[in-house]
Chains A and B, each alone.
Chain A
Amino acid sequence: MKRTLPLTIVLGCGIFMLIAFFVPVRWFQDASQTLQTWYLGVIAFFVFIGIFNLVRINVLKIQHKRRDWQFSIFLLIFLAGMLLAGFIGGPDGTVFLYLFQHFQIPLSATMFSLLAFFVASAAFRAFRARNPEATLLLIAAVLVMIGRVPIGVWIWKGFPSLVEWIMSVPNTAAKRGIIFGIDLGLISMALRVILGIERSYMGGKD
């Protein structure tokens, strides 16, 4: 029963949504929309579970003075601060917006900006000509990089057109091949899950 009931729900909902995709009858469309609304309701409930988990782990960390426990104090203070600011002033409140614009956005931007350095370090490793494929990658990358900067046009006027061709023909062809595979894999996995063949996400077969 512990497995049978969830599997039956998955089978029922999966087949229903599949039918609703092909049948434009209003009742099916309304019911499929209702199912999706229920899912949103469940997500809203899980926000509390997430916050509870976050608070519990960090309180325990402070209580037991585990490594770097001081950071947990900051986390809890700011969590409580944002929650209070949101509840009192609403999402457009002055304090909430101040905290969002002067703390969260700069911090997110800082993490995002690390990408510039990581792209350089990853490219350095990836572009070593170890074998013919890597050499091809290196040549293509160098051509694209040169063609995308003003000096490329200065060296040879044909660079932008060459880059355009590389991006729109071989690159797009490879990407579409991958997307085809992904879509087939997705359909196959969906069928496995709906039919109950794939059930390891529920912890196993028994």
Chain B
Amino acid sequence: MCISLFDMFLIFLILVKGISVNAYDTPNDDGSSVTVSWESDIPYSSILILRSEQKDGVFEPICEARVGRNDYQDTLIVRGTFYYYQIKAMTDEGEIISAITGPTVASVQVFNTGRLNIFVAIIILFAAILFYISRAKREKLFIRKIPALAAMDEAIGRATEMGKPVLYVPGIMDIDDPQTIASMSILAKVAEKTAAYGTTLYVPTARAMAMSMAQQVVKEAATKVGRPDWYIADNIRYLTDDQFGYVSGVDGIMLREKPATNFYLGVFYAESLILAETGHSTGAIQIAGTAMPDQLPFFVAACDYTLLGEELYAASAYLSQEPVQLGSLKGQDLGKLIFIFVILAGVIAGIVGFQGFYNLFISVH
């Protein structure tokens, strides 16, 4: 076998300047891909990735990568088969071929280690919740007062005294959103109170499924307090899926029916301030709550009481006053305390330059 001068020149280039390739089983997947990554000191216009099942076999091109990329996920593989990879870089001086890397085989990972930190966090929180639930069964736990929820009775009572209805807006998202689920849990409590007082309750929804759920929740609540006759299905109505169409519909209800109390609990976007300001202009007492951080300032500015973020999720448990649910709230607070310590530890680790602590939290993909 004779080696030409040009081949020798290429080998020289590879050895001196270097173009390296590495192939490995893609971490945290179902064994359906191999990742090929490369590094090159030589400027190139494109990279051709070659693959073969034999080290001395024919290497077939499988993909051409653009400049700027330095890895490729090969999904056109058969699980359990060994592969060898090589890359060919197109440079101004011609083609440069890397050394062969392999064999590499893709395998199934049964646990996504990139999510280990989330798993640990859930386990800690879960343990804290279970611990406090068991404690709540034995002793009375102290739960801090949430002003917005404490004012709920007063707000519904005011509407009753004035002979005006209560308006409950469960946000604009469907029931696959946890905030809407939380909102439905609070709606159950509001419906119990309004049914007991015989006050009209309007629940306009932006999603048909949320309407169906709200109807069921309100109906059950009315039955629970012995007032099934109070329930009127048409008061829980679907308006439209369109964001601003929904806002104009709710604003219309506010201006026509003049509810004495407005609840805005759930997911809100740009409509939050339009709703809250219209409600304010009608003189209603307003209680809002959302876990959308960008909308919270609008509610704080325009409403009388606001459930801030996590308080929306805690509201149902708080209102129920059941020991088991209160225990879960206390567990959540303990989890928060642990995370505060973790953040403080992170700050200290950052100041002293301990990178290992930081690395514990960057593996989530």
Chain A residues at the B interface, C-beta cutoff of 8 Å: 21-26, 29, 39, 42-43, 46-47, 49-51, 53-54, 56-57, 60, 67-68, 104, 107-108, 111-112, 114-115, 118-119, 121-123, 125-126, 175, 178-182, 184-193, 197-198, 200-204, 206
- Residue B301 lies at the interface, judged by CB distance under 8 Å to chain A: yes
- Residue B226 lies at the interface, judged by CB distance under 8 Å to chain A: no
Min CB–CB distance A200 → chain B (angstroms): 4
Q: What does DSSP make chain A's interface, helix, strand, loop or mixed?
A: helix
Could you tell me if B244 and A185 are in contact, using CB atoms closer than 8 angstroms? no
Q: What does DSSP make chain B's interface, helix, strand, loop or mixed?
A: helix
- Residue B310 lies at the interface, judged by CB distance under 8 Å to chain A: yes
Could you tell me if A46 and B242 are in contact, using CB atoms closer than 8 angstroms? no
**Complex: A175 Cα to B125 Cα, angstroms:** 22
Could you tell me if B125 and A122 are in contact, using CB atoms closer than 8 angstroms? no
Within B1-41, the residues touching A (CB, 8 Å) are: 28-32
Interface residues as binary, B175-197 with A (CB distance below 8 Å gives 1, 0 otherwise): 01010011011001100000000
Could you tell me if A191 and B308 are in contact, using CB atoms closer than 8 angstroms? no
Interface residues as binary, B310-335 with A (CB distance below 8 Å gives 1, 0 otherwise): 11111011001000110011011001
Q: Which of under 10, 10 to 19, 20 to 34, or 35 or more describes the interface residues of B?
A: 35 or more
**Complex: A108 Cα to B212 Cα, angstroms:** 26
Of the candidates B126, B223, B328, which one forms a contact with A197 in the assembled complex, judged by CB atoms under 8 Å apart? B328
Could you tell me if A203 and B188 are in contact, using CB atoms closer than 8 angstroms? yes
Of the candidates A43, A68, A125, A185, which one forms a contact with B309 in the assembled complex, judged by CB atoms under 8 Å apart? A185
Could you tell me if A108 and B184 are in contact, using CB atoms closer than 8 angstroms? no
Task: List residues of chain A with CB within 8 A of the CB of B339.
Answer: 180, 184
Could you tell me if B291 and A42 are in contact, using CB atoms closer than 8 angstroms? no
Interface segment among B82-90, B232-240, B258-266: the answer is B232-240
**Complex: A198 Cα to B316 Cα, angstroms:** 8
- Residue B137 lies at the interface, judged by CB distance under 8 Å to chain A: no
Instruction: Supply 4 further A-B pairs (C-beta < 8 A) apart from A50-B211, A54-B240, A181-B309.
Output: A104-B242, A185-B311, A188-B332, A190-B178
Min CB–CB distance A21 → chain B (angstroms): 7
Q: Knowing A54-B238, A122-B273, A189-B178 are in contact, say whether A200-B30 is a contact too (CB < 8 A).
A: no
Task: List residues of chain A with CB within 8 A of the CB of B293.
Answer: 175, 178-179, 182
**Complex: A109 Cα to B207 Cα, angstroms:** 21
- Residue B99 lies at the interface, judged by CB distance under 8 Å to chain A: no
Of the candidates B176, B184, B208, B238, which one forms a contact with A201 in the assembled complex, judged by CB atoms under 8 Å apart? B184
Task: List residues of chain A with CB within 8 A of the CB of B208.
Answer: 46-47, 49-51, 53
Q: Knowing A125-B301, A184-B332 are in contact, say whether A178-B308 is a contact too (CB < 8 A).
A: yes
Interface residues as binary, B196-226 with A (CB distance below 8 Å gives 1, 0 otherwise): 0000000000011101110011011101100
Task: List residues of chain B with CB within 8 A of the CB of A119.
Answer: 273
Interface segment among B42-50, B103-111, B354-362: the answer is B103-111
Of the candidates B182, B220, B273, B314, which one forms a contact with A115 in the assembled complex, judged by CB atoms under 8 Å apart? B273
Of the candidates B237, B277, B309, which one forms a contact with A118 in the assembled complex, judged by CB atoms under 8 Å apart? B277
- Residue B243 lies at the interface, judged by CB distance under 8 Å to chain A: yes
